[in-house]
Structure 1
Amino acid sequence: MSTPAPYQFDDSGALLETQLPLPRRSGKVRDVYELGDQLLVVSTDRISAFDYILPCGIPDKGKLLTQMSVFWFDHLDVNHHLLSTEVPQVLADQIDVQPLEGRVMVVRRADVVPFECVARGYLEGSGWKEYQTTQAVCGNRLPGGLRQCDALPESIFTPATKADEGHDENVSIGRMIADVGSDLALHLRDETLRLYRQAAEHAKSCGIIIADTKFEFGRVADEDTPILIDEVLTPDSSRFWDAASYEPGHSQPSFDKQFVREWLMNSDWDRNSPPPSLPPIIVEQTAAKYQEAFDRLAST
């Protein structure tokens, strides 16, 4: 049986898949490989929408996500899983590793806490939908009369269960406490809000609003305090808005895959079958938004 090619690209040059000579598991964007007591995380250029991975990618998206996460790991005051951004020598001895340059993280292995830790400073997305029905978000009571994308009186913690397939489910901190215990849940709530405030302050100085973001945490052997893992404060895990054009009362232009979602919603795709490829202009516009977000946030 022939050995699979280590890389699969689309016609635009986007890296869609890696098949490195190491044990692997894959998510929507990242391929994760076993490196003994460490992991190798490869950010591909895959892009997902409405819980589907699209057949085309966004060139260099994975590099931008990696570089942005590395920037935040360095900028934030937090213990995290990142060890190195160098391609391991074990791979360089076997294959051409040039396609991996700039898109890999060697990280500590951790047992993942099974909740997305979400901080919200503005009312949008699933939070906005829930507020219109209950005047609360994940058990956090809010004042009446708030508009879509309004700033909240103070940032709130809205955890979500991690789904292997389909959507994550927003839950109350009471549900999180019941599952992982009060000490861990309350610690992660406080840490999530602290990191969000720190990041939002930096982003504000760059003219960007972080409306909300999700963090993930993991536990490592012989350490009492969970560490920050996964990607951090990227356009895939956050809502970034331009502060200069911010206007509550309606949805805001975002530095993310907004162009992808809008094009798909306006196409004849039924969202129950394999999604279509994107036109080149949508790919280009999406890539430009990711690049602009990185350039602005990492410039200072």
Structure 2
Amino acid sequence: MTDTGGLDGWTHVYSGKVRDLYVPTALMTDDDSWTGDPLQLSPVVLVVASDRVSAFDRVLDPAILGKGALLTSLSRWWFDRLPEVPNHLAYAEDDRYHDLPPIPREVADRAMFCRTLDMFPIECVVRGYLTGSGYQEYAATGAIGGIPLPEGLSDGDRLPEPVYTPAWKAPVGEHDENISYERTVELVGETVAEQLRAISLDVFAHASQVAEERGLILADTKFEFGADRELGIVTLADEVLTSDSSRFWDLEAYLTGATPEVRMASFDKQIVRDWLAANWDQRVLENPPTLPSEIVEQTAERYRALVERLTLGL
């Protein structure tokens, strides 16, 4: 039997780099004969964001205290501002769920009660600005995801219009792979592929406007979607528009900053990535070094600052 992870009424069934998933314990048998994929059999899942931080496909030490609650509060805030986009949040007042256990108090600030979906194996990446791996690909090929871009663009430049550059979600332990739109059609079919692209671009446009009203730039982000098991409709899932899934920049710093480091200082874990890149030679050391306390605190402050800026302290 899978360890319950200490949550009353809920059984732990999966852990990713950051999130832990639980299903109602009542679905599991008291003996060890229960078989099957819990996420396929359960109508709901408790998605708990931990304080773990990852970079370069590795979970690092120490964790960033309070990070899980910040990610969860921001996802909930964005879901509330996207009422026209179906999402995976479930609500205890729904008659279908009244017999299920409540969210345990000890994880209430970092947990979302969600409907299980049939997830699509695609990360839906939208880029409004050229940076990160997108800039590296452009510098080498003049394009991103097979989409040609104008010549002469520099790191941090705004793109003529946002571009949709999907990635294939690789199995655990493997690296995600950037793919063309045509490949997404092969993976999920033409109708779903077009819906994923259209919804992603629409949400990005809306979120960019919200961010700009708060003195922020949404440089890029990624979304994940699944199919609603009752209605079959494309449904927004996982986290949305958080520091872990998006690059947000300060608008004034971008316009006036003297260096790229100032202009494109992200409200995310870029501080962690930069420190690791400078202090960890993966060819020499298999395991990453422990993060210094000042790096942990600086990263936590960037996460807190984004939540405060976007939600205006609410």
Same fold (TM over 0.5): yes
Q: CA deviation at 1:4?
A: 8.2
State how 1:212-251 maps to structure 2 within 5 Å: 212-246=220-254, 250=260
Rounded to whole Å, the distance in 1 between the matches of 2:195 and 2:100 is 38
Residue 27 of structure 2 corresponds to: none
Residue 125 of structure 1 corresponds to: 132
Rounded to whole Å, the distance in 1 between the matches of 2:89 and 2:68 is 16
Structure 1's 274 and 79: CA in aligned 2 closer, same or farther, altered over 3 A? Answer: same
Q: CA deviation at 1:140?
A: 1.2
Residue 35 of structure 2 corresponds to: none
Match of 1:278 among 291, 300, 303: 291
Q: Does 1:52 align with 2:58?
A: yes
Residue 210 of structure 1 corresponds to: 218
State how 1:1-300 maps to structure 2 within 5 Å: 6=6, 21-35=10-24, 36-76=42-82, 77-84=84-91, 97-164=104-171, 165-246=173-254, 250=260, 252-270=264-282, 273-299=286-312
Rounded to whole Å, the distance in 1 between the matches of 2:287 and 2:99 is 38
Pairwise CA RMSD: 2.5
Rounded to whole Å, the distance in 2 between the matches of 1:283 and 1:19 is 31
- DSSP-derived class of the 2:61 partner: strand
Residue 33 of structure 2 corresponds to: none
Rounded to whole Å, the distance in 2 between the matches of 1:106 and 1:28 is 19
Rounded to whole Å, the distance in 1 between the matches of 2:240 and 2:70 is 12
Matched to 2:219, the amino acid is A
Identity of aligned residues (%): 45
Question: C-alpha deviations, 1:92-114, integer Å up to 9, x for none?
Answer: 79xxx443120010101100011
Residue 15 of structure 1 corresponds to: none
Matched to 1:152, the amino acid is L
Matched to 2:222, the amino acid is K
Q: CA deviation at 1:23?
A: 3.8
Structure 1's 197 and 43: CA in aligned 2 closer, same or farther, altered over 3 A? Answer: same
Residue 9 of structure 1 corresponds to: none
Tell me the TM-score normalized by structure 2.
Answer: 0.84
User: Structure 2: which 5+ runs fail to align?
Assistant: 25-41
Q: Which has the higher helix share?
A: 2
